[in-house]
Amino acid sequence: MSAKEMWRLSMLREALESLLVRYVAERYREGEIVLDRLEQIVDHMKAIDAQAGLSLLLQLGRDFHRELSVLADDPLTARMLEQVMVSFERYRHLVDHKQHRASEIVREHMSLMAAIRSGDGDVAGKEIRTHLQNARSLYGEYFASMNTNLEK
């Protein structure tokens, strides 16, 4: 595990998911899909008490992002994203203890849902990029603290 690998995987994820969420917003605008499952997941996220643990919230986040892949109806991009996520999974546990991020994660998913409902792929893409950039900075903080701890 390294900060460089995490950063590269996160950047790949951002590129692929921004494509997928664009397709979801456009498909929703055209009336090709419904967002019921995404709405259910976000409602569940909102209902979770931060004390229930970030781990559960991260699992719901994985469910949300998987559903985006299904709704986008782009199997090639979804397969590429799945490969990235398999490699990225080992980094996810590094932030399980960051409880302060829980409310931010919920707000980001709510904003993403609003962007998707707007039917504007550019807006939805911007929202998911912001969400993933925020996550990346949290992982970056972990590696920065590890470097600081190693230097002491």
CA distance 90 to 85: 9
pLDDT at 36: 97
CA distance 57 to 131: 14
Q: What is 3-151's CATH number?
A: 1.20.120.530
Write down the H helix ranges in the chain.
Answer: 3-29, 36-47, 54-72, 75-92, 102-118, 121-151
* 83: its two tokens: 């490969």
pLDDT at 151: 39
pLDDT in tens, the chain (152 residues): 777 888 899 899 999 999 999 999 999 999 999 999 999 999 998 888 655 667 788 889 899 999 999 999 999 999 999 999 888 877 776 655 556 677 888 899 999 999 999 999 999 999 999 998 988 887 777 677 776 543 33
pLDDT at 152: 34
